[in-house]
Structure 1
């Protein structure tokens, strides 16, 4: 194992600035930087990058709680280093239009059931990962069968749930009884404060589930981050 040094990190960070033109550097799953323990990467990064004139950084991450802590915690080096944009679910009409165009342009001779793309959106809840996942699977189904039906979407969903089963089981087994009860109510769109638990216990469970990026606070209620987790819970409860 090779541990990073401050000099190594500074040299790598400085590469785009030395290229001589305007450069955009994008980091995906940026929250993983917090797993490096040998040196304080965030401090080294900011100290060097804040002096750059020609480099723009984009930091993307899937764990909203950790990303918010990196950029919104006044005690962290990256506090207010970047503007924050929370990506909302994909728009329904735009997603359906995009899918219809892509499928029609790649399989002109394949009959497609009415409502198929609406069903993909409904089941994925506009989650980009699952829109792509379901679409990829039913595209493969269509290549084999020469047609596409609503039943194919359900088949794809069942396969996805089967492939994600181990991950969901590991998450479920890691939760306390209070967290499980709270999460189950959220999955069924029932207020967790209706549980036979004290308000303090519910609040503790909610805070922990948010910190784990299992749920997030919506406009009116808490919501599951992963729509397929809720589907799996309902099928196994």
Structure 2
């Protein structure tokens, strides 16, 4: 794919597949996030995909996955980004069970520092959850997938439309009440999602759950979660 040799498939998300690759000229490992083309793929999808790269590429922090470039190879759109040798926190939870308080505090520190950088740059992630936080083999914590990020730019007339389109793309299990209700969100919404994520990691289960997304959303609006010490069984 252009200057990249695709090596193996790593996984897939809501709108893209991810592959391990190597840049043939630079001899640099990369993760290629390739937009999945379907008959339903719209120009709005392409704009949202590009917005992910633009938002992430504008941020510089050790706990934010670095974006190398955005490309288009024979009509196939992709983002080349830092390849993390490790697992996301949902995978870690499935493999090892609930996290210790010490690990939870370290994850909280790293992700909060990353979000401070993003929020100062006017970028709201909008989809903080265990799947979007990676832990590398050496223990480094990395926030990835700014696909739902809203860049707060007065010069970007399309931002409002993309935000409205993205409201249903968040993950209800971790969404803030204001995001669920379709209100304007800012960095405080990310902090709510981070709190839900941390609860899930420490308790081994999310604070709210339901089979239907709407029922789950209602719980975020009207219910209180079980105290964390009870959820941890301690």
Which TM-score band applies after superposition, normalised by the shorter structure? under 0.3
Question: What TM-score, normalized by structure 1, do the two folds share?
Answer: 0.26
Higher RCO (CA < 8 A, seq sep 6+):
2
Question: What TM-score, normalized by structure 2, do the two folds share?
Answer: 0.26
Higher strand share: 2
Higher helix share: 1
